[in-house]
Amino acid sequence: MDLFRLDGKTALVTGGTRGIGLMIARGLLEAGAARVVISSRKAAAVDEAVAELSKVGGGEVVGVPADLSTEEECLRLAGTVEGPLHILVNNAGATWGAPLEEFPSSAWDKVIDLNLKSPFYLTKALVPRLREAATADDPARIINIGSIDGIMTPGQRYSYTSSKAAVHQLTRVLAKELGPQAITVNAIAPGPFESKMMAATLDAFGEAIAEAVPLKRIGRPDDMAGAAVFLASRAGSYVNGAVIPVDGGLTVA
C-alpha cells in the first residue's frame, strides 16, 4: 500500500550495521527509501553492512564510520548529510551490567554519552536538514530507539535503564517543540530481539524470556522493520510523541 511506501526518501540510521539498526535500515530500503545512510563505530562493520544492504536492491546505501559517544563525532556525521533528510533513526547504543556496589562511574558515563547525549546532539544538528524535507502533509520523522528497560525495572543495568527512560522523555519534549515545524518525534521501545547486545542474555535465558512474552516468542527482524516503516511513512504521519513498545506484550505481562 502507498501508505507505507518511502519512495524518494533519505534516511540516516545510527548503529545501522547490526541488530535493531540493521533491521530498520533493511526495512526502510524494502519500503522504497531512495538513500539510507548507516553509521557505526567500526569501519569494517560499516563496509560489511553496506555490502549486505546493497543486495536488498533499490535505494543507495552509504556507510559512515563514526564514534557517536562524542559531540564532535555527532557533528561530523551530521555534516556528511547533504540536502533534505526525511528520516533520522537514533539507534546507536550501549549497555552495561554490574552489581550496584561495583558499578563504575566510567560505565555510567559511557552509556549516558552514547544512549542519551548523542540523539540530542544529532537531532539538534540535523533539524535544518529535517526541516528542509518536511511538509505539513508529510512531516520529517525522528525515530528514537528506547527500550522496555526504560519502562520496566530490570536490575543491575542502572545507566542503561536510566538512559532509555530519559530517551522516552526527550522524545516527548522534542515532539512538542518540533511538531510545529512539521517534524514528528517518536520512540520505539524494543523488547527481546536477537542482537549482539542481547546475545549473551538470550543464550542463557532465551527460552524463559520467550515464555514470559504473551506472544511466546522473541522479536523477529520484520517486527522491528514494520514498526519503523509505519512511523516513517504516511501511515504514521499523525503520530507524534509516542513511545511504542514492540515487545510482544512483555511490558503488560
Residues taking part in catalysis = 160
Cell readout for 213 is 512474552
Give one DSSP letter per residue of 115-133, joined into a string.
IIIHHHHHHHHHHHHHHHH
> Terminus-to-terminus CA distance in the chain, angstroms?
33
Q: How far apart are CA 179 and CA 198, in angstroms?
A: 33
Q: Which residues contact 135 (CB under 8 A, 6 or more apart)?
A: 182
Q: Which residues contact 199 (CB under 8 A, 6 or more apart)?
A: none
Cell readout for 103 is 558499578
Neighbours of 43 (CB within 10 A): 12
